[in-house]
Structure 1
Amino acid sequence: MQGILLTGMPYAGKSTAGKEVADLLGFQFFDGDTEIEKLHPDRQRYLDENGDDAYIDMEAKVIMGLPLKKVVHAPGGSIIYSKDVKSRLKDCFKVYLKVSLDVLKERITDDDRRGIVRLKHKGIGALYAERERLFNEYFDATLAVDGLDPDTVARAIVSLYALHNLTTEKRGMRYVSTNGHSTASFSEAMKLGLAPDKGLFVPETIPPFPAEQLRLMRHLTYPQTAFVVMRQFADIPDDGLRKMCEDAYTFDVPIEGHEDITIARMDRGPTASFKDFAAQLLSRMMTHAADGRKLAILTATSGDTGGAVAAAFKGLPHAQVAILMPLGEVTDTQRRQMTTAGGNITAVCVKGTFDDCQALAKRAFSEMKGLSSANSISVGRLLPQVAYHFYVWGRSGADTIVVPSGNLGSLVAGIIAKRMGLPVRFIAAVNANDEVPRFFSSGSYAPVVPSKACISNAMNIGNPSNLARLVWLYDGRMDEKGNILKQPDMEAMKKDILAVSITDDETRKAIKDAYAKGIVLEPHGAVGYAAVQKLSSRGLGKAVLLETAHPVKFPRELKAAGVPFTVPLSLAGLEKLEEHYLTIEPDFGELRKIISRMQQ
């Protein structure tokens, strides 16, 4: 792998940070001053007796003999004067560690013996200005280090290095429909939502990350991870996409290690749900793709998607959003997140199940022009979820990622991550809507009609849209009606995914069992927890559960189980806001009128 060059003015902390960078990456470390002192123990004496030019030449000979791959070099800043050294090290990733002139003046004394080339002739101020100009011309990145401890500096360097090596190549990506008759660019596919042939868009190819790049991804922040992943799929210029990721992801993913399971808390976003990871970036990408044109967005929700979409699109000047929810099947908190948004957000309660809501939405996309989707049928909603699988793996060392599953968007995103090189397998943990485990067991698909109402309400889906994508990923084909036209490779699918159904009684027991071990889970996370217990004999290795929502969204079940919880700041005061919503039968004519008014 490409080596790293660290330099800067004296006392910038090059050697201390460099050693830690080498440890983090498993690289060799070479301190330039130490290498010189093997030949000339008193560097200042050599400089005094031979002069600046001779010292520069001597230093160059030392540096020229050192290796370039999988190495961290921390030479003195005077290497910037040597054309030979700059040519030799040009292919390294070069980081200028910048200290301010005021800090430098405090550290350098008149009797300094470090062998600082040109200091006596120029003085510290002029030398600083000269070298800063040369450093800025030569180096790939600048890191201001005033006030930073060595560990922070080292980790920032590694992060910059990883980002540099993970963004050297960008492929153009086309999208094809799972029905096989439509193609589009990323922006086109995102705006369309459903493909014109009624299938779902999928990437035409899935670009892999080599093993060395995967190891580097462990050192990225979440916004950096999202950027590195999404640039493989999105037709958005890097600078714009990077900014979108930085703006969207101002929250982290806490990883909790417990005795028999690790929990990834996906509930720290603005609506306390894992849906924020997709919705926050989707709103920014769709705004970019619209380029000032009006957006009319329709989405159906079984629980958390609606609130996340409302928060992500609320107040956007060119966007009008309608959100369909099944009346009585979402919690009070989930409903209020949609009905109190107001403004450009229209909440619609449908007297039916989520599958009714989803069917209405799909018909609208098929029959009405100018609509975009914020559901996971949209490839722009699906693909941002790929990033958190990489991030969770990198932070936890997961062997198995446990995905509480409903419409299968998170699971499909995980399988895409696996095709990109992620070395894990998955548990698809579903509630009593068990169409996926039955499909895995028998090879014959039959939806659950009507879907069953379970306490893990966001997973009350009897006919998941993203199953068509999962089938496609395993070389099969499923049409928009749920008919298997070409059987997927079931053995490969079952090798990668363990699918299991959990009852409400098992879910309630899991909430109590987890709390007895100091783990607070809401019903969806409890479904995943119960799945791990049920499959513990299957050689899961380190199992990491994606806890999808904050427990406060499900107070009735947690109170019944005797599990205390706190209200996050993002949800505080929600119950005091006024609700506004429409109520309709699962009738397309009623929905058409709402959409028509929204599009005016």
Structure 2
Amino acid sequence: MKYYSTNNADYKVDLKEAVIKGLAPDQGLYMPEKIPVLPADFFDRLPGLSFREMGYEIIGSLFSDDLSQQQINSLVDHTLTFDAPLVQVEEGVYSLELFHGPTLAFKDFGARFCSKLMSMLQDKRDLKVLVATSGDTGSAVANGFFGVDGVEVIILYPSGKVSKLQEKQFTTLGGNIRAIEVAGVFDDCQKMVKQAFLDPDLNSKMLLTSANSINIARWIPQCLYYFYAYSRLPKKERELVFSVPSGNFGNLAAGILAERMGLPISYFVAATNINKVVPDYLQGENFMAKPSLQTISNSMDVGNPSNFYRLLALFGNDESQLKEKVKGYFYTDDMTRQAMLKVKNQTGYTMDPHGAVAYLGLKDFMGAQPAPCTGIFLETAHPGKFRNVVEDTLSIRLDLPDRLQAFMEKEKKVDKMENDYLEFKKYLLSI
């Protein structure tokens, strides 16, 4: 299998280069040259398969040209060590809980897959993994790569714009994990990482890669839990819609990948906070990056989502097809809090701010449909990761899982930096 750049379909590389380099030289994101469509009998068998059993077949269909079955099984076994329960919240409305992994966020799936695949593919040279995070990516990648031989992880995050618990999860590990607190916003961190990948002087001196969702090894495995959610639905007669809380849009793109592989999803909802460049685009405006704005759903505080171009690529760059399949909605902090409180009072279910945004998008979409449909919204992080917001909104006391509480008791270790690429380059050359 070859992988092409979203900026130039004629530029193609093999799996190793796509994973180890992460970003194409022309700043494009890599995409698989062909997307396999799974046979009809696979979907008939899905309800009887375990998460891992379906993972072997799905990942096998995507990577069998480059990896042995033993390697594919090892990847899946390393990735799928925890459940993703489908929980009914209301009649016809389900929450897909993706926060049962080591750092209690959906990115644990991709981070574990990525670290394992990189360890399989890397040369003997030491590898530096650069990561920009608006919250959960940092903790998932840090914990996924912690202690991996020959890999050093450098995480950039915006000062004061991630929750205290998220920050503790990636700033307290030490070892091969370094954290840089940047005086800026997430988009500044992401820009510095991209500049480093494209700096010929820097790349001549060290081997750099990314574990953000721009890397196919982080992005592709996220398609697995869409199949799993579908397999666990008690009834499948109605049209199915997934609502995805979206920041950098890798998670939504992974759902569309699953649909392109044959999963019967009728629609997707791209639900965001007031950082709404993609909902604006889906409603007829030109796609235009904007400075990100701070909200209570901070993992979605992204003004220039990298994976937008993957969304287009999945539809052959046909904007009309994308806009037919994906509907965009955005919500304020007040609307998010109101949804959290309403659902808690009416159903007893506790949503984090990101899940609440997805819930709102799902309900608005379903309310506009002429016929009933089944809806699944993604709960991407444990409510305890946003404890202050959740407790203040719901007037409750959350009990943190033991593994989250353990992070809070550790000492933060960070380097501080201005929003200055030359300073960041000097830092990389010094370590």
TM-score normalised according to structure 2 size: 0.93
CA–CA distance in structure 2, aligned partners of residues 185 and 391 of structure 1: 28
2:287 equivalent to 1:445? yes
From 206, 221, 230, the equivalent of 1:384 is 221
2:253 equivalent to 1:409? no
CA–CA distance in structure 1, aligned partners of residues 193 and 302 of structure 2: 15
From 520, 527, 533, the equivalent of 2:350 is 520
Residue 394 (structure 1) shift: 1.2
Task: Name 1:395's counterpart in structure 2.
Answer: 232
Larger radius of gyration: 1
CA–CA distance in structure 2, aligned partners of residues 534 and 418 of structure 1: 22
Residue 211 (structure 1) shift: 2.0
Task: Name 1:594's counterpart in structure 2.
Answer: 427
Shift in CA distance, 463/554, structure 1 to aligned 2, threshold 3 Å: same
Is contact 2:223–2:257 with CA below 8 Å preserved after alignment? Answer: yes
SS in structure 1 opposite 2:95?
A: strand
From 428, 434, 439, the equivalent of 2:276 is 434
Q: What amino acid is the match of 2:102?
A: P
Task: Name 2:86's counterpart in structure 1.
Answer: 255
CA–CA distance in structure 1, aligned partners of residues 124 and 46 of structure 2: 35
Task: Name 1:371's counterpart in structure 2.
Answer: 208
Task: Name 1:558's counterpart in structure 2.
Answer: 390
Residue 295 (structure 1) shift: 1.4
Residue 566 (structure 1) shift: 2.4
SS in structure 1 opposite 2:378?
A: strand
Residue 329 (structure 1) shift: 0.5
From 389, 411, 416, the equivalent of 1:578 is 411
- The 5-angstrom pairing of residues 29-108 of structure 1 reads none
Task: Name 1:237's counterpart in structure 2.
Answer: 68
Residue 267 (structure 1) shift: 0.3
Residue 567 (structure 1) shift: 1.3
Residue-by-residue CA offset, 1:325-363 (whole Å, 9 max, x unaligned): 111110000000111010100001111110101111111
Q: What amino acid is the match of 2:359?
A: Y
2:338 equivalent to 1:496? no
2:260 equivalent to 1:419? yes
TM-score normalised according to structure 1 size: 0.67
Residue 570 (structure 1) shift: 2.5
SS in structure 2 opposite 1:578?
A: coil
Q: Percent identity?
A: 38
Residue-by-residue CA offset, 1:107-162 (whole Å, 9 max, x unaligned): xxxxxxxxxxxxxxxxxxxxxxxxxxxxxxxxxxxxxxxxxxxxxxxxxxxxxxxx
CA–CA distance in structure 2, aligned partners of residues 216 and 409 of structure 1: 28
Task: Name 1:182's counterpart in structure 2.
Answer: 11
Task: Name 2:133's counterpart in structure 1.
Answer: 301
SS in structure 1 opposite 2:209?
A: strand
Is contact 2:282–2:326 with CA below 8 Å preserved after alignment? Answer: no
Stretches of structure 1 lacking an aligned partner (at least 5 in a row) = 1-172, 477-487
Is contact 1:270–1:276 with CA below 8 Å preserved after alignment? Answer: yes
From 358, 363, 373, the equivalent of 1:541 is 373
Which one is further off, 177-186 or 522-531? 177-186
Residue-by-residue CA offset, 1:548-583 (whole Å, 9 max, x unaligned): 000001111111121443212321321111110011
- Report the count of equivalent residues: 413
Residue-by-residue CA offset, 1:463-504 (whole Å, 9 max, x unaligned): 10000111222222xxxxxxxxxxx332x2122111111111
Is contact 1:208–1:420 with CA below 8 Å preserved after alignment? Answer: yes
Is contact 2:78–2:116 with CA below 8 Å preserved after alignment? Answer: no
SS in structure 1 opposite 2:283?
A: helix
Is contact 2:366–2:375 with CA below 8 Å preserved after alignment? Answer: no
Q: What amino acid is the match of 1:576?
A: E
CA–CA distance in structure 1, aligned partners of residues 173 and 53 of structure 2: 30
Q: What amino acid is the match of 1:185?
A: D
Residue 233 (structure 1) shift: 2.5
CA–CA distance in structure 2, aligned partners of residues 401 and 496 of structure 1: 11
CA–CA distance in structure 1, aligned partners of residues 53 and 42 of structure 2: 13
- The 5-angstrom pairing of residues 117-516 of structure 1 reads 173-180=1-8, 181-234=10-63, 235-260=66-91, 261-367=93-199, 368-369=202-203, 370-396=207-233, 397=236, 399-424=240-265, 425-448=267-290, 450-476=291-317, 488-490=318-320, 492-516=321-345
Which one is further off, 588-597 or 359-368? 588-597
Residue-by-residue CA offset, 1:199-228 (whole Å, 9 max, x unaligned): 110011111012222222332222223332
Alpha carbon RMSD of aligned pairs, Å?
1.4
Q: What amino acid is the match of 1:393?
A: Y
CA–CA distance in structure 1, aligned partners of residues 218 and 331 of structure 2: 27
Is contact 1:272–1:570 with CA below 8 Å preserved after alignment? Answer: no
CA–CA distance in structure 2, aligned partners of residues 420 and 469 of structure 1: 15
Is contact 2:2–2:33 with CA below 8 Å preserved after alignment? Answer: yes
SS in structure 2 opposite 1:232?
A: helix
Q: What amino acid is the match of 1:282?
A: C
CA–CA distance in structure 2, aligned partners of residues 495 and 416 of structure 1: 16
Query: Relative CO higher for 1 or 2, CA cutoff 8 Å, sep ≥ 6?
Result: 2
SS in structure 1 opposite 2:198?
A: helix
